[in-house]
Amino acid sequence: MTTKLMTMAAVAALASGLFADANTESEVLVEAKDEIPVSAEFGLAFDSKYMTYGVIDGKDPIVTPSVEISFFDTLYFGVESIFDVTKGNGKHGGYGNRAGEYTTLDSIVGLRHDFELCDALGTLSVDVNYIYEYIRRYQNSMDDTQYVNLELSLGDLWFEPTLAIERDIMADNGTYVNFEVGHTFTLIDGDKESEDPILTFRPSVGQGFGNTLRTKGYFSDSCEDRYGKGFSHGGLMDTSVKGEFEWSICDNLSLSAYIACYDYLFDGSMRDAARTYNRGNSCKTSYNFVGGLALKASF
């Protein structure tokens, strides 16, 4: 082979190699572009009582399995269900004797996103979702209901304020609002490769508010206000004090434990209503203590 032909062959081989590398890189880029970021989270929670708005809907423990699929870390779909652990756990709501059986089944679709604000406020986390709650029929059980929820939080601030708004759009059109402040303390730092701590503790204080439709929808069947009108006004509902530990077992698995106290402190009529409501579940006070565990696995 002449020098000229050898040179031409070498150039052709080099060009072929470069073209192949370009093709390979192009295929990788196309695959990367075509890939849809998807994540999944599976949870199993245990609560010592079934609490809603700081009052007892079930005096015995419940177990709540859940699953959530998220796309682009923004759009998510979820399902969760409440299972009774013992018989006779739900005087309120007509749940009946369902040991080992589910009482509610929630289908959830939502959007979440973090917005970067100024340096002073940090990141605003926004989560809005729609829930259809199916209530398993038992004798005179309640009908199904639907909720629209909005949650806003500033997790970068020291006192981590969170505002949660719930709107019942099917049963009574009631609105419930809860404002919470707290702080996450790191008890055990993570290793050098991980920025997340291994063990944290977060104390918090929260205050609930319900409009007239919310309080009437929840309390009117079991009590009247001090004016004998059924429950006729909204206002400050449950005050909560809570402490939560979270242990990061590994990158994709965490275990949390909490204990909380709920009471109705700021409205005498509401406190009487809560006491009457709780009496249906063998509790004579307006305050309650509850605790629980939750295991979460993410992929």
- Dump pLDDT digits (tens) for 117-147: 999 999 999 999 999 999 876 655 567 889 9
Model confidence over 241-271: pLDDT tens digits? 999 999 999 989 999 999 999 999 999 889 9
Give pLDDT, residue 228. Answer: 64
Work out the percent of the chain whose per-residue pLDDT is above 90: 60
Within a 13 Å sphere around the CA of 87, how many CA atoms are in the beta-carbon half? Answer: 1
Give pLDDT, residue 2. Answer: 47
Give pLDDT, residue 28. Answer: 47
Work out the percent of the chain whose per-residue pLDDT is above 70: 79
Give pLDDT, residue 33. Answer: 52
Domain boundaries, the chain: 1-35, 38-298
CATH architecture type of domain 38-298: Beta Barrel (2.40)
The b-or-e profile of 238-265 (16+ CB within 10 A means b, else e) is bbbebebebebeeeeebebebebebbbe
pLDDT at 85 over 90: no
Tell me which of 152 and 97 has the higher pLDDT: 152
Continuous segment of H or E residues that includes residue 297 = strand 288-298
Model confidence over 143-190: pLDDT tens digits? 788 999 999 999 999 999 999 999 998 777 899 999 999 999 999 998
Give pLDDT, residue 214. Answer: 92
Q: pTM higher than 0.85, yes or no?
A: no
Residue 192 Cα distances to 85, 195, 197, 253, 263, angstroms: 42, 7, 10, 18, 42
The lowest-confidence range among 97-111, 170-184, 211-225 is 211-225
pLDDT at 11 over 70: no
What DSSP line would sit under 201-234, residue for residue?
EEEEEEEEEE-HHHHHHHHTTT---TTSSSS---
Alpha-carbon torsion, ordered 90, 96, 101, 105, to 10 deg = -70
Q: What is the mean pLDDT of residues 17-42?
A: 61
